[in-house]
Amino acid sequence: MLKIYDMKQVRKNVEQYFKKHLPEYTVLEIRKKSVYPEDSYLFMVSAIKEDGTFAVWTSWNETSQSLNYGHYNLQTLDECEKVFEEFYNNGK
């Protein structure tokens, strides 16, 4: 049976991870990574850095509490949106 993850808990876990490992970033948005139910534990995360640049990580694994595949030094929120769109698995 597939687990459904509570987004409030996911955000709490991501923010704890950032506080410990990436304190120079503030989490902005967390989105599901995929339309597929079997990927329900995967998310994408955007954040702003203290220097005003943005980053998107295209794989937060809620099961293992790990963050991977960072896209750094993005200049705008629109660039974050493009990364989100490019890496979202929509089943097509």
Q: Regarding beta strands 66-74 and 42-49, do their DSSP bridges make them parallel or antiparallel, or are they unpaired?
A: unpaired
Q: Does the predicted model carry a pTM greater than 0.75?
A: yes
- 63, part of any domain: yes
Give the closest residue to 60 by CA, choosing from 39, 78, 77, 81: 39
pLDDT of residue 91: 85
Tell me the residue ranges of DSSP E strands in the chain: 25-32, 42-49, 54-61, 66-74
pLDDT of residue 2: 79
pLDDT over threshold 80, residue 1: no
- 34, part of any domain: yes
Q: Which residue has the higher pLDDT, 92 or 68?
A: 68
Structural domain of 36: 7-87
- 37, part of any domain: yes
- 40, part of any domain: yes
What is the tally of structural domains in the chain?
A: 1
pLDDT of residue 92: 79
**Are the C-beta atoms of 11 and 59 separated by less than 8 Å?**
no
What tokens appear for 35 in the block? 């339309």
Q: Over the stretch 17-64, which tens digit does the pLDDT of each residue have? A: 999 999 999 999 999 999 999 999 999 999 999 999 999 999 999 999
Backbone angles phi, psi at 16, to 5 degrees: -65, -40
Bridge partner list, 40: none
- 41, part of any domain: yes
